[in-house]
Amino acid sequence: NAGVTQTPKFQVLKTGQSMTLQCAQDMNHNSMYWYRQDPGMGLRLIYYSASEGTTDKGEVPNGYNVSRLNKREFSLRLESAAPSQTSVYFCASSEFPDGEQFFGPGTRLTVL
């Protein structure tokens, strides 16, 4: 049981480049989430998917898009990266939206 996995672990982009962060869970969870965590700050929800086939905006969705590819996978896309998107990105999953969340190890993204 790997839990929640994220790829890549580290990434450096130039301003304007695009990339997709991948997340997968093997716990058969219904709900998945993308958060960002900036230095000295708490978590901010970017997007979430309450169940397969649905996605909703969180607190800070601008500049991001998501795809719930299937029940296991939930990807986050940056279409045109900006330095303000330099952050650590965490994916999480839960059986239901109000349940305990399980987190991945994070992706450390730097945009130059």
Partner 1 sequence: GDSVTQMEGPVTLSEEAFLTINCTYTATGYPSLFWYVQYPGEGLQLLLKATKADDKGSNKGFEATYRKETTSFHLEKGSVQVSDSAVYFCALSPGYSSASKIIFGSGTRLSIRP
Q: What mask of x and - would describe binding to partner 1 in positions 38 to 77, judged by CB under 8 A?
A: ---xxx-x--x-x---------------------------
In DSSP notation, 8-50 reads: -SEEEE-TT--EEEEEEESS--SEEEEEEE-TT--EEEEEEES
| Binding of partner 1 by 100 (CB under 8 A) | yes
Q: Residue 3 or 16: which CB sits closer to partner 1?
A: 3
Under rule CB under 8 A, residue 2 binds partner 1: no
Of positions 55, 61, 71, 103, contacts partner 1 by CB under 8 A: 103
Residue 105 in the binding site for partner 1 (CB under 8 A): yes
Instruction: Provide the terminal-to-terminal Cα distance of the chain, rounded to the nearest Å.
Output: 36
